[in-house]
Amino acid sequence: MPKAAIVMGSVSDLDVVKPTIDILKKFDVDVEVRVISAHRTPQMAHDFANNAIENNIEVIICAAGKAAHLGGVIAAYTPLPVIGLPVKSSTMDGLDSLLSMVQMPSGIPVACVAINGGLNAGLLAIQILSVKYPNLMKKMQDYKNSMAEKIKSDDEKLQKELN
């Protein structure tokens, strides 16, 4: 079974992470969710990243706000793909978090989704996993087809309403 981990810098990030958890579960991806701070529990972050492969984790999503170094710290210790999920902060509306995640030094990549983009973080993790799991690829194709059908249906309703 495919497995993803979601690591939050603080339990206050849970509202942003809930759509991530929900979409991963909808696609039958096993999810491990943790609260680990890059700054307040650096040894935990180190241990988590170093043991991720042994724990059958295949992709890691890191949600953090403000300085948002969590994704970079995790990525420094593991060869697994890491997705940054910037959390909107009170100081700069999440721009600080976004920039902390996307401005990684050469050699330590962290993919990044939109500020508070929990759903897309989960979908990106599923797309990464689908390279190994063909059933996920099929489910992702079905998901995208259902989105397209919804838009077509919405357009048809709008055209009837306007005409």
| 3-class SS of residue 116 | coil
Please report, for the chain, the start and end positions of each structural domain, with discontinuous segments joined by +. 3-134
> According to the model, what pLDDT value does residue 112 have?
97
> According to the model, what pLDDT value does residue 39 have?
94
- 103's tokens: 């401005």
Q: Label residue 77 by pLDDT band (50, 70, 90).
A: very high
Q: Which of 54, 48, 51, 53 is nearest to 33 (CA)?
A: 48
Give the model confidence (pLDDT) of 102-122 as tens digits: 999 999 999 999 999 999 999
> According to the model, what pLDDT value does residue 67 have?
85
CATH number of the domain located at residue range(s) 3-134 in this protein:
3.40.50.1970
Long-range pairs, 102-110, Cβ under 8 A, ≥24:
104/72, 104/75, 108/72, 108/75, 108/76, 109/75, 109/82, 110/62, 110/71, 110/72, 110/75, 110/82, 110/83, 110/84
